[in-house]
Amino acid sequence: MRAVRFESDGSVKVVPMPTPGPGPEDVLVQVLAAGVCRTDLHLLDDVRAGRREPLVPGHEIAGRIVKVGADVYMANPKDVVVVHFEQPCGECRRCRQKKTNLCQRGSSLGFNEPGGYAEYVRARQTTVLALPPDFDPALAAPLGCSGATAFRAVVTLGQAEREDLVVVVGTGGVGLSAIQIARVQEARVLGVDTREEARRAAVEAGADAAVPPTEAARTAEAMSGGAGADVVVDFVGTAATFTLAKSLLGYGGRLVPVAVGEEPIPVTSGDLVEGGKAYLGAYSTTMADLARTVALAESGRLKPVVSKRAPLSDAARVLDDLAGGRIVGRAVLEPPRT
C-alpha cells in the first residue's frame, strides 16, 4: 500500500509500505478519509527535531472494513466505520473502568502506530463504530478527534445543561463543534476569540454572542445576570486565556482546559474553594465520547465543517496550508479508492 510518512529531515513523503495484516481481534480498514489535525503539525516538528521516530500520521479516520481477524465479533467486512485512534490495552485497571483515555499500556494510531494517512490502517475491533450507509466518510473522519474532543469538554467533563452559560474560548475548528454541542444541551453560549472571522463563525455555529477577550467579562456578566459562567472551555491554553477563563467562572463553575499550555499561571486554592469551582483537564477521549458524538452528527445536530478535500498525495501541501493559516474548518485527505 501507499502511505504518507513524516521523515526525520522534515519532509512529508508518499512511500510504499506493506499492507498490515489484522491480528485475531483486529480489523483492516481501507481508509476513505483522514482528517488533517493541527496536532499533525506538532508531530512533524517532533520528527524533524529528533524527538520522535519517522511515522505515518492520521488520527481522524473513516473507512471501510475489508478484512477481519479470526476472533472478531464486533465488526463485519464492508462496514463503513469511524475509527478511534486510541488503541487501549483492554486489560489494565483504567480499561476495566472504561477510562480508556487514561490507558498507559495501549498505543495510538497516527502517533506510535501507523495512522490514517495511508490506504489501509489496522485497528482493534473495539475501536471502530459503524456509520449509517449514507454518511459521508469525509464528514465522519473529523469526529474521531475534534468532534469527540469537543463533546468530552462540553458534556462529559463540563456537564453543560439547560440554561447554563457555556463560554468557549477559541472558536476555531474544535471550538465551533463545542458551540454546536453546547446548543444541543440547550445552554446559552458565548464565544470568545481575538479574530473577527472566528467570531463570525461562532455566531453562525449557534453562539448567542461572540466577543473579543476584552469584552468577555462584561458580556458573560450580562448573559448570566451576574452569576458568571457554568462552564468555560479553553481551547487556546495560553496564560492569557486561562486567566480569562478562570475569571469568568461563577459558583459551581467548571473550567475545562483542552490545549496543552506551558506558560505558568498563578492559581490560589481560593480560586477553587470560593464558590466550589473545578478545573478539569480534557485528556483524549473514550469510545463513549465518540459514539455519542457520532449520534449527534447522524441526527444532524452536529455538522463538522469540512472545507477542503485533497488526495493523499497532496498531504505535504495541505499541511503547509494548515500551518500558514489558509484552512478554515477541516481539511480531509482522501486516498484513492481501489
Q: Does 89 bind Zn ion (CB under 5 A)?
A: yes
Which 251-270 residues touch Zn ion, going by CB under 5 A? Answer: none
Q: Does 92 bind Zn ion (CB under 5 A)?
A: yes
| 100 vs 330: CA distance, rounded Å | 26
- Rounded least distance, CB 173 to Zn ion, Å: 9
- Rounded least distance, CB 203 to Zn ion, Å: 25
Q: Does 95 bind Zn ion (CB under 5 A)?
A: yes
Q: Enumerate long-range contacts of 147-150, CB under 8 Å, 24 or more apart.
A: 147/177, 147/290, 147/293, 147/294, 147/297, 147/302, 147/304, 148/84, 148/285, 148/289, 148/290, 148/293, 149/174, 149/177, 149/258, 149/282, 149/285, 150/174, 150/175, 150/177, 150/178, 150/180, 150/181, 150/293
Stretch that binds Zn ion, among 85-93, 208-216, 222-230, 317-325 (CB under 5 A): 85-93
- Rounded least distance, CB 39 to Zn ion, Å: 4
| From candidates 3, 131, 145, 189, binder to Zn ion by CB under 5 A | 145
Q: Does 238 bind Zn ion (CB under 5 A)?
A: no
| From candidates 57, 88, 137, 191, binder to Zn ion by CB under 5 A | 88
Which 276-335 residues touch Zn ion, going by CB under 5 A? Answer: none
Residues in binding contact with Zn ion, number by CB under 5 A: 9
Q: Do 56 and 103 form a contact (C-beta atoms < 8 A)?
A: no
Which 21-80 residues touch Zn ion, going by CB under 5 A? Answer: 37, 39
- Rounded least distance, CB 110 to Zn ion, Å: 8
Describe the crossing of helices 173-184 and 287-298 by its angle, rounded to 10 degrees. Answer: 80
| From candidates 31, 34, 103, 140, binder to Zn ion by CB under 5 A | 103
Angle at 282 between CA 281 and CA 286, to 5 degrees: 140
What is the binding site for Zn ion (CB under 5 A)? 37, 39, 88-89, 92, 95, 103, 105, 145
